[in-house]
Amino acid sequence: MDPFSAAQQQEDDSAIDLTPMLDVVFIMLIFFIVTASFIKEAGIEVTRPEAETAYKQDKANIFIALSPTGEIWIDRKNVPVSQLKATITKLKAENPQGAVIIQADKDSKSKQLMQVMDAARDAGITDIAVATEAQE
């Protein structure tokens, strides 16, 4: 037997096969992507009003912000009232169990608040809350 072929055979036997490890990594990646809950932030900062009955909402994933100037922000985009229901319906389709949190600035108009609430109800969402700050 040739000494060089024996050394080559021993080197081939000691090689590490990374294929099973890569398969496990890809399966874990797919699992985390599928099970992740994505939160849609509003996109602007608002000064929320204070309330005595404020409490933490745990399962909210759709945040809608109302600016003092009457703008409506969803997912870091300014959304006109005409597209509000369609936008909320699309976000509800992504997470059917999600709740809507309306972050209305304390200087915003109640007209915009009612338009957002009506659009959310029309989109089939019944779990709607208005964000407030806890009174101290």
Distance CA 48, CA 26 (A): 43
- 81-97 in b/e form (b: 16+ CB < 10 A) is eeebbebbeebbeeeee
pLDDT in tens, 38-97: 665 656 566 555 555 555 655 667 888 888 888 888 888 888 888 888 988 888 888 777
Contact 62, 100 (CB under 8 A): yes
State the pTM of this model: 0.58
Map 102-114 to HEC letters: EEECCCCCHHHHH
